[in-house]
Amino acid sequence: MDLDYILPFSAIPENGCEIDGLDNKLELAHHIIMLINLLRILGAVKTKKASSQLVTWPAQVIFLLSPNHGLFGNDDLYSESKISLETLFNHWNSESWGEYLCLAGAVIGWTCSMGLMDATNIFAWEVEAYSVHTFSTKKMAFNILDLNGGIDHLPDLADITTCIRMDLNKKSELCHAITHDNALDFKVINGAEGECALQNVNVVPHANFKFDLPTLEPASAFEELSKSHSIINSEKVIIMTGFTEVSPFTDSVGDGSSQRIHY
């Protein structure tokens, strides 16, 4: 089996401890998932391609990098894992496996609704008041580029997020107390049956953008064309010989030089 694309996006949460609280779980995340075994996978792909002499068809590897180099704090070895991946670009240039693997690093910013960021979703929008952009998973998937939103220029991010979290907790407790008090007053005035009128919620659908790939016709749709080759002037026939996508993650594998459509 020969791999064309490798997208090592897997990760597990590493939070809650400082440097004096490292344990076996954090070591597991760092060695087996975030870094060491990833390097072993790349090494195995290089070995397979070298044994098959596939020097003109490198595997495209896309890494998810992060501007969080210890900015959040209490994220244990997550930053170390991401920084270590950045050194691979120098290894690619200085070592002998560059013709088998093509590397691209996407530095992503604050992405909400991810498993790693669940604990911070509630106050992510507050951080934007400090000229930092946050992203949904769909937006980030659509823009996997060096779009970190300025998060790397916020040196006191840990203090800011702590203050925001404490402020939101106070507001939540205050709103809960006011709502509870209002509910008791409403029940006394209108009776228990009066609460039913307030329990019906009208849900309004939100916009749902969807970008589908164009439909490709099956080979059977062109069977009739082969029967008319004798009546067509081949000198005037336009032939599409390839297609390509221009982005940071394309190379000679994805352009027209390696893809041909014959008629």
Q: Which tens digit of pLDDT belongs to each residue from 140-187?
A: 777 775 556 777 777 788 888 888 889 999 999 999 999 888 888 887
- Burial of 109-148, coded b for 16+ CB within 10 Å and e otherwise, reads bbbbebeebeebeebbebbeeeebebbeeeebeeebeeeb
Helix (H) or strand (E) holding 140: helix 137-142
5-161 carries CATH number 3.90.1150.10: no
- Nearest of 214, 210, 208, 186 to residue 198 by alpha carbon: 186
- Nearest of 204, 209, 69 to residue 139 by alpha carbon: 209
* Band (130; pLDDT cuts 50, 70, 90): confident
- Where, residue-wise, is CATH 3.40.50.720 in the chain? 5-161
Measure the CA–CA gap between 204 and 14, rounded to whole angstroms.
Answer: 37
Q: Are strands 59-65 and 101-107 parallel, antiparallel or unpaired?
A: parallel
Q: Which tens digit of pLDDT belongs to each residue from 30-66?
A: 767 778 888 899 999 999 999 988 888 899 998 888 8
Q: What are phi and psi of 104, to 5 degrees?
A: -140, 135
* Band (136; pLDDT cuts 50, 70, 90): confident
- Nearest of 119, 192, 214, 212 to residue 162 by alpha carbon: 119
8-state DSSP, 56: S
Measure the CA–CA gap between 94 and 103, rounded to whole angstroms.
Answer: 14
8-state DSSP, 216: P
pLDDT at 125 over 60: yes
Q: What is the pLDDT of residue 225?
A: 74
